[in-house]
Structure 1
């Protein structure tokens, strides 16, 4: 039997150790509250990898972009933020720039249904987390999250937002520390929201074939509530709201992209994916959003999940649906991506740049990388389109699954 297709009883018995800093023991599956429908149930079929494109992307440039929540149209053409210099003096618009005239913009962020807490910003040892109540069945649970913003953010500064979902054996604090997130938001000018997984879910986040739809919808609503409360306190750039996760968090991020694709501008999957018999399938969103799909090569495997298989399943569904895909294969197995960064840059600088390079208002299947090329700051083991990345020739003999 293929190792990534182990039977579901084994999946239930082993809390997958897809982990960057150590495994945690299994928990009992939580009870489910009422669910609401989110995202499209449209299915897609896999497509074969294509060759490296020149002008057209392997994700396709055709089709009309749709979204829910009454998107608006951009009317300003004056840019205010720094642009990415691609060499030769050519530049492209990024999240900190004004959208081009006539662009399709993201829907407005709805107000929170209750009273938002006064958000605690940043993190230090002993600091209390932000708390939002959530109704799950007959119980109310407290959901915890961190909000990391530039320490010198001005009241008129319009800030992109990215959600960071931690790995199985980790916690929100671990993502904050491993990603050097405070320095990253100071340098790149965005807000990071780092949720803490709740108790009662076997794999921290609801992404497995045995997780209930009610649990999945509850996590989507937690995302909604966090975004609404952050937007109440900050001047949020609604056209640059993205999600990324690592391992278990990446598996959930792909589910969030399907369920809240009308809101997200892009998403990044770091050793995650969809399908494969153990993970929920891809749900096609209405909005065509760029995606970075990254994994550690043929040996990116942890207990019951073959992350090369699930990452390729995600890629095929994205390309079949007309989404832009940047494929990255670092060949370091199930471990922290060894992003090459310039002196003074933070650990995950290419990840933040991908997020900021892809605003919501890009046309379906569009990326500035197809016109200007993949930026020099991106790893050379990344390429446009499924099947096009060239991983380093030798594995780096690193594995953080335990």
Structure 2
């Protein structure tokens, strides 16, 4: 699927440039396409410099949290909930700890670091699967929650915005948090409906009800605030939460006599390895998106979408963010490239770039996640996993657009 998508970008760009040459005699498209290959390759390296530092930094802090038993504490805290949502997983099974660690990495926005942990969790769940060729209920719930982009601190989004020169990289903190809540809620309840989960169980109800009350109180408090005040609050909370989390890891690690420096370096080495492997994919996708834009094909698509939206009587400012939303279920690297390219061409704090950043932080690469996670354990029948995950993606996209109009409109 990814091969076809990547090749399709180049073929569409070539056809569009050829049509422009044959019909209007415009040969500038080919020059623009050639120039974009080099400029996007350079941009890939610029992005990777910050990506190396960010992944190295956060995986270093995560290693401290792991050795300080904060992850184990979270696993024990969530264990009563998971035992009810995944009744086929025994209490204390290693899968629960791995699932928690995976969710922790996702919550911090470290999706690339979360993948290897998630694969270990899926293998642990496969050991309990009575029908290895078909996805179990526990595996489907884990995958859909993973694919709903359960992000509380979108570090990667902050990094991309910082690299493109954003004055306040954490400006989209609250929009991403709210849109993620929508996507995760849609994914969870769709799985709960398909699997007939007992949501009225006292423990499950307490978790869901408590979370709902917190979000309702937060939304109520923000409802009367102006767009300028909301933007300032989002930036402030993003910075405070980011640094507070670092201090928590360090202080708890020191109290529990964890060698924080050595642990940080150990985790940072893992981050370096993860980041190094991303450069070829980033170059490939940024160059493909670059030629698509340079040929004029992407602009034609956007003009068509803008015409439809305008005919419906809606505001069209969000349309430029739709390519990121459309390719995200298929390829994270393509969506990342779309986001970076949009920030570069429209401005990092333009409305479309803010919407695209929120979409990127609140949706997931559904087909990639399904292929990798289920393929790694040989599952052939995915049952209702894809449908529930795509519903979560749709909820995330719609919520991203709505929240950005609320915050930045």
Structures share a fold, TM > 0.5?
A: no
Whose helix fraction is larger, Structure 1's or Structure 2's? 2
Scaled by the length of structure 1, the TM-score of the pair is 0.30
Whose strand fraction is larger, Structure 1's or Structure 2's? 1
Scaled by the length of structure 2, the TM-score of the pair is 0.30
